[in-house]
Amino acid sequence: MHLRDSFILASLFATTACPLNPGTTTDDAATTETTDEPGTTGSTESMTTGLANTPPTAPVVAITPASPTALDDLVCSVTTESTDPDGDAVSYTFVWTRDGVDAGLATETVPAAELADGQEWECIVTPSDGIDEGPSGAAKVQIGAAPVVPETCADVKASQPAATDGAYTLYIGKDPNKPWTAHCKDMAAVPVEYLPLVNVQEGRNFSQYTASNNSPGTDVRTRFTHLRIDPITLLVDIDDVTFSSSTGQLMHGQVAVTSMPYAVAEGCSGTEDSVANVDLVGTPFKLKESFCTAGFGALGGAVLGMSDQVADLTGGGGCGWTSPSIGDTCTDNPQNKNSGFVLDLEYIDPFDQACQSHCANALECGIFPDLPTCMTDCLNVKTGDPECDAAITVTTICVSMQNCEDLAKTLYDQMFGDCSDERMAEDVPCM
């Protein structure tokens, strides 16, 4: 059956506390004594005046919202109550300051009409037990403060000191329109960034050194799930195997090789018998630089696809390899893991990311002959017309489908409703 061109186009596409007065005393009985002048006859009188009062502790205070704009009311609240050692009831007084000056407001709420962009507001809450005031608690907010747009995991840690290892959204060049998901590692020390890979099944995102008589042992294959990436330069450290697993072991001269760097196909059999794969589909990155083939009698090369998000590598020769290159520089004996940050990536426009994802699905089923054709059709409906909306609707449904028959059925159902079965069977109008 054949999908018409018009049908395809429409379908695929965030307390301070005053210290206690050093003169504060415990609740011992207070005694006053009166004694006659020396040399006179008299007596000493003693009078107990009662227990000394102990003021309440400082409260913990918060202002909501935590990141207000000039359109928000500010509400100050006590999140952890003061306690009074004497068991007295505690009440609070509220004082607000605006840019360090008393704002003349003594309520829990500051109306939005009082706010302006860039101001700093502080709420100071003082507890009292009816006799003495205790130390104050305070909180501050900035009005209209710009949202945190972290470029690195260190930026995340600076804004969230308690942040732990895990996934965070970073932004290329701190541009809010260029987000990507990073795995931040070592957040308790010096944070580093990793790019999570989507396609980690067998045959995707692996490197291999193929064993031979010249490099005896078993094939060494290393499979990667995350790549160590510099979030500023977008260079990948191909030697970092933190998030990888390896099988096999062979000898390269007198050195045992048990794992391989990312994006390397190497062999010493005299033939082009080693393979590797780079697959960035599902991430917002593509390959910027190409690959090189080097070594003794080197054989092999790289074939790029999916708009430079995929590369299939072959390598070998007398003892050769295919690996990433930057400019005219090629890696040297990559199995020694001395290359470092050499794989250069480039950020992809978010809309193009969506188009590539949609087109990848369509290509699996042969609906389009090649990626450029699919991308062209997708970009032609980039303006947000109904055809583009239809594309997003259909492909969102279909993206989880791995079988072409289901994809075709969904497409026909979307277009023809009750007539879909007949259209699929005969590709003729339903009468």
In the predicted model, is pLDDT for residue 33 greater than 60?
A: no
Shared domain for 278 and 394, answered yes or no, is no
Mean pLDDT of the chain: 80
Distance between CA atoms of 312 and 198, rounded to whole angstroms? 17
Does a structural domain hold residue 30?
no
Q: Is the peptide bond preceding residue 85 cis, with omega within 30 degrees of 0? A: no
Q: Are residues 254 and 335 in the same domain?
A: yes
Residue 77 in any domain: the answer is: yes
Q: Is residue 28 part of a domain?
A: no
Q: Could you tell me if 287 and 393 lie in one domain?
A: no
Task: Name the percent of the chain lying above pLDDT 70.
Answer: 69
Least confident range of 34-43, 72-81, 239-248 = 34-43
Residue 416's pLDDT is what?
61
- Domain end: 121, 142, 163, which one? 142
212 and 304, same structural domain?
yes
Residue 33 lies in a domain: no
Please check the confidence at residue 205 and state whether its pLDDT lies above 60. Answer: yes
Same domain, 284 and 214: yes
Do 294 and 332 lie in one domain? The reply is yes
Which position has the higher pLDDT, 177 or 399? 177
pLDDT band at 56 (very low <50, low <70, confident <90, very high): very high
On the question of pLDDT at 300 being above 50, the answer is yes
Query: At which of 347, 378, 401 does a domain end?
Result: 347
Provide the whole-model pTM.
Answer: 0.56
In whole angstroms, what is the distance from residue 163 CA to residue 150 CA? 13
In a domain, 36, yes or no: no
- 284 inside domain: yes
Q: Is residue 294 part of a domain?
A: yes
For residue 162, give its domain range: 153-196
Domain endpoint, select from 100, 115, 142: 142
In a domain? residue 352: no
Residues 280 and 393 in one domain: no
- HSE-CB of 349 using CA atoms within 13 angstroms: 6
Asked if pLDDT for residue 79 goes beyond 60, the answer is yes
Q: Are residues 323 and 284 in the same domain?
A: yes
291 shares its domain with 383: no
Whichever domain contains 135, its CATH number is: 2.60.40.10
Domain count, the chain: 4
- Reported confidence tier of residue 45, pLDDT bands at 50, 70, 90: very low
- Examine the domain organization and report whether 210 and 322 are in the same domain: yes
Rounded to whole angstroms, the Cα distance separating 370 from 364 reads 10
What pLDDT does 12 receive? 41
Taking every pair of C-alpha atoms in the chain, what is the biggest distance, in angstroms?
131
Are 245 and 369 in a shared domain? no
Same domain, residue pair 399 and 419? yes
AA letter at 289:
E
- Considering only residues 15 and 170, tell me which one the structure prediction assigns the higher pLDDT: 170
